[in-house]
Chain A
Amino acid sequence: LSKVTPAGGALVFAALAALPLLPWMSKYYMLLAFDALLFGAVAMSLDLLMGYAGLVSFGHAAFFGLGAYSTAVLLERGVLSIWLCLGLAAVVVGAYAFTVSYFATTRRGIYFALLTLIFAEVIYTFFRYTQTFGGSDGIQGLPAPQLWAGVAVDTPMRIYYLVVAYLLLAYLACRVLVRSHFGRVLIAIRENEDRARFLGYNVQRYKMGACLISAVLTGLAGALYPGRAAYATPDLLHWSISGEFIIMVMIGGLGTLVGPVIGGAFFILLQEKVSSYVEWYSIVVGLVLVLIVLFVPRGLLGFRQALRPHPGRGTP
């Protein structure tokens, strides 16, 4: 799985496209599949930043939530075109991500994580208490978006195909990106930031680029969410959601792109399935994360060692 051949990838997407044809795919399972793929795509976008640039963002919920709110605001006002929703999400999330990354990329490690976290909390607090956006209830009861005039994305199957298409495009974009010169420089920065700088690369610009791309991809995924849920609430922006995104990446494996997609899908299915059997599913999810960090720190599909062992600190 570390090397995805074009044929193998095409096969996987063909299988995903054929999924709704299965006889037992009820409405419930279609929406579950939507969630699994959507959050898989979000985890993949975060992996671009965590696994390749080596920057752990604790604020990705803000990108996701801003995307969702962009769509929700337009749908609420009767602008139903999904393309306008996606466009607005890209602009809003891009502008916010530019600001955050401009400041956050001047810092490394824990300080970067905390800066993204606190910026995201500002956004959360703003939406949580601003009545224009529905306060703590968010924006509810939204109409379905339209692909073009008259064709609404109003059935589980249509919204599912939308997310499959999005995942395909986002995956192709990420894959091209990490193999490009840009992606190579990101890996070099992750491995040794100072050396990359001495080689003449503008490290901050590359980091900001990675942040922007990761954020906009996450925001676009967020923009698709109200199409499925018919709402956008401040809960989507809360930092515990950012934590869940990190969990998805860790489960799947840092720096693999495919791994986090599977990690995200696995997390959603785990949450859904465990919560239907036991009430205390958060305990299971939390402990799964602890066990993964302890025993498979590179993730279930992690092949490359992304976060190097920490030298020096602690006991022999």
Chain B
Amino acid sequence: LEYLASVLLPQLLHGVVFGAALGLLALGLTVIFGLLGVMNFAHGELYMFGAYAGIAVIGLTHSFWVALIVAPLLVAAIGAITEIATLRPLYRRQPLYGLIMTFGLALAFREGARQLFGGDMRRILPPIEGSIPLLGMTYPKYRLFLLAFSSLLLFGIWLFFTRTRAGIIVRAAVQDAEMLDGLGVDVPRVFTLTFAGSAALAAVAGLLLAPVFTVYPQMGVEMILLAFIVVILGGMGSMGGSVIAAFVIGIAQSLLTLWMNPQRVAIAIFGIMIVVLIVRPRGFFGREGVLE
């Protein structure tokens, strides 16, 4: 029981907290995949931008909370401009072109951040300090806030997609963009706004995780692979699947570190991924035959 309370439970909770943030990151990725057919390699850099935009806003206003609102908006604007300038001309091309182009964007974004903010490790101090007793252990308050905020946001997004007209239009665009266009909806605008929204979600994830991890220009590179894994595991284009898969991966990674060193964990997760891709490439909840 001692072991349970002092080792297993905190590690489990770490996994849940990380999974929630990962869910925000993967959700944007999977919506863009469903909508544009593009695996967005630059998504990790939008995540990184979120953290740096947060640092910049905190530097100006000395408030994490202002940054939590302003930074995603800034990154959303960058996302919208990127979509209009680079992805819009590719709508009718093979998805692989999108993959290759976003790889180029990622390269440019990463170097841009390094030039603007420098290559060294930065930290954001948690806006909520201290720990509280919880189920026989003490747990940092900030991580609980992170979990609550991410979960609320995920719930809000679910409401958006099921209860609002705009959300239903986005889902319709994922199903059949051509039909939606025929019904008189300005589909390119839907695409641009959705991309901006996905960028904002990545930025929120980046900023929320910044006080837990460190901030540096390469931070998106490792996260994007994990996010890809989550998206595939959940089923490409399936939003609910992505969120569930994010928690699964978050918890699995966190618990496995108890028994293995980090590189074995990484290899184990890659191994799971390979098996899923071979046996059931559409993941948990993906539609059959999507780009198979």
Contact = CB atoms under 8 A, between A and B. Distances in A.
Interface residues of A, number: 50
Contacts of B41: 243
Interface in B34-52: 36-37, 39, 41
B108 A287 contact: yes
A250 interface: yes
B96 A56 contact: yes
A243 B103 contact: yes
A108 interface: yes
A290 interface: yes
Interface string A102-114: 0100111111011
B270 interface: yes
B97 A122 contact: no
B168 to A, nearest CB: 18
Given A119-B274, A282-B111, A293 B263 contact: no
A106 B232 contact: no
Contacts of A314: 36-37, 91-92, 177
Contacts of A290: 86, 101, 104-105, 108
From DSSP, what is the main secondary structure of chain A's interface residues?
helix
B100 A103 contact: no
Nearest to B261: A129
A209 interface: no
Nearest to A122: B270
For chain B, which range describes its interface: under 10, 10 to 19, 20 to 34, or 35 or more residues? 35 or more
A309 interface: yes
B292 A286 contact: no
B107 A285 contact: yes
A276 interface: no
B178 A109 contact: no
Given A118-B273, A309-B92, A111 B292 contact: yes
B274 A315 contact: no
Interface string A282-316: 11011111100110010000000001111111111
B256 interface: no
B163 interface: no
A246 B103 contact: yes
Contacts of B228: 114
Contacts of B262: 129
Contacts of B273: 118
Interface string A225-263: 000000000000001100100110010000000000000
Interface string B183-219: 0000110010000000000000000000000000000
B134 interface: no
Interface string B85-109: 0100111111111011101111111
B97 A293 contact: yes
A212 interface: no
Contact of A287 (B104, B114, B232): B104
B96 A110 contact: yes
Given A121-B270, A240-B221, A287-B108, A115 B277 contact: yes
Interface in B47-80: none
Contacts of B281: 107, 111
Given A246-B103, A310-B37, A316 B178 contact: yes
Contacts of B105: 286, 290
Contacts of B191: 315
A293 B100 contact: yes
A125 interface: yes
Contacts of A119: 270, 274
Given A121-B225, A315-B188, A289 B100 contact: yes
A282 B108 contact: yes
Interface of B: 36-37, 39, 41, 86, 89-97, 99-101, 103-112, 114-115, 177-178, 181, 187-188, 191, 221, 225, 228-229, 232, 236, 261-263, 266-267, 270-271, 273-274, 277-278, 281, 291-292
Given A56-B96, A125-B266, A312-B178, 15 more contacts: A56-B99, A107-B277, A110-B291, A118-B277, A121-B266, A121-B270, A280-B111, A282-B108, A290-B86, A293-B104, A294-B89, A294-B101, A297-B93, A307-B96, A315-B181
11 contacts: A110-B95, A111-B291, A113-B96, A121-B270, A122-B274, A129-B263, A282-B107, A290-B105, A294-B101, A310-B95, A316-B178
